Amino acid sequence: MIQAQGLTKRYGPKTAVEGLSLKVERGEVYALLGPNGAGKTTTLRMLATLVRPTAGRAEVAGFDVGKEPLEVRRRLGLVNGGMRVYDRLTGREVLAFFASFYGLEGRAFKEALDWVVALLEMEETLEKKVLEMSTGMRQKVVIARAILHRPPVLLLDEATAGLDVFARRALLDFVKTYRDLGNTVLYSTHVMPEAEEVADRVGFLHQGRLVYEGSKEEALAMGEGSLERAFIRKVREAA
């Protein structure tokens, strides 16, 4: 569902991502792990067609991110940490606005709304203004607006940043549920325990390069039960 080959992004003399190649299968959570500045956000932005690669190519759900960006966006959801929605609108109004981007109106919108409300257990957010919502409620609206069109691929970029313990737990549970529905999730984070909980496979990104890729179980074995130790080991080997 996601394929990248030699994906590279340079900003003048600075290289943010270099020669990245990976594959993410249908029904899989792939955790892209690395510290801040490792190139995780740049990678996800290239896959989401928000940033054009300097070199290399990538496909999402079989469509080229450079040549077919609209087809990619139709099959993609994106959630960034700290993403905001309009404070003075109700949850229902926010979702209706974003649904219109995908042509979901009338009965189609109602069906999409019923589906996402049941999936995220967010009935209490529909008639409440975003300004009046708790952190967890707002995050549910952010996620809901990203998956209203039922994208088979979901990109989560540091999606738990700034969340309290309850909102964080709800998001991690959602990731596993969305995977179990047969969808693909690329989960970018620097918080290793989160990846230990939700990931099927992991990739270690360091200074823009993928220094390791494998199953979570293989990585845990290499790190004696810890993804953090496995990450540090592979980074030191790469250095």
Q: Convert the pLDDT of each residue in 51-84 to its tens digit.
A: 999 999 999 999 999 999 999 999 999 998 777 8
Q: Are 35 and 23 in contact (CB under 8 A)?
A: no
CA angle 17, 154, 122 (to 5 degrees): 140
Rounded to a whole number of angstroms, the CA Rg of the chain reads 18
**Residue burial 27-52, b: 16+ Cβ < 10 Å; e: rest:** ebbbbbbbeeebbbbbbbbbbbbebe
3-state SS assignment for residue 97: helix
Q: What pLDDT, on the 0 to 100 scale, is given for residue 49?
A: 97
Residue 7's DSSP bridge partners are 20
Instruction: Give residue 102's pLDDT band: very low, low, confident or very high (50, 70, 90).
Output: very high
Delineate the domains of the chain, giving CATH numbers in brackets: 2-75+152-238 (3.40.50.300), 84-150 (no CATH)
pLDDT above 90 for 17: yes
Sign of the Cα pseudo-torsion (137, 141, 147, 149, in order)? positive
CA dist 163 and 156 (Å) reads: 14
Q: What pLDDT, on the 0 to 100 scale, is given for residue 104?
A: 94
Q: What pLDDT, on the 0 to 100 scale, is given for residue 111?
A: 96
Q: What pLDDT, on the 0 to 100 scale, is given for residue 70?
A: 96
Q: Which two tokens stand for residue 234?
A: 């592979």
Q: What pLDDT, on the 0 to 100 scale, is given for residue 21?
A: 97
Burial class (CB in 10 A: 0-12, 13-18, 19+), 182: exposed
Instruction: Give residue 135's pLDDT band: very low, low, confident or very high (50, 70, 90).
Output: confident
Instruction: Give residue 162's pLDDT band: very low, low, confident or very high (50, 70, 90).
Output: confident
Instruction: Give residue 128's pLDDT band: very low, low, confident or very high (50, 70, 90).
Output: very high
3-state SS assignment for residue 111: helix
Can you say whether residue 21 is alpha, beta or left, with left for phi > 0 and alpha for psi between -120 and 50 degrees? beta
CA dist 180 and 29 (Å) reads: 10
Instruction: Give residue 103's pLDDT band: very low, low, confident or very high (50, 70, 90).
Output: very high
Q: What pLDDT, on the 0 to 100 scale, is given for residue 174?
A: 95
Q: What is the mean pLDDT of the chain?
A: 94
Q: What is the pLDDT of residues 174-194, one digit of tens each?
A: 999 999 999 999 999 999 999
Q: What is the pTM of this model?
A: 0.94
| Nearest residue to 29 (alpha-carbon basis) of 233, 196, 207 | 196
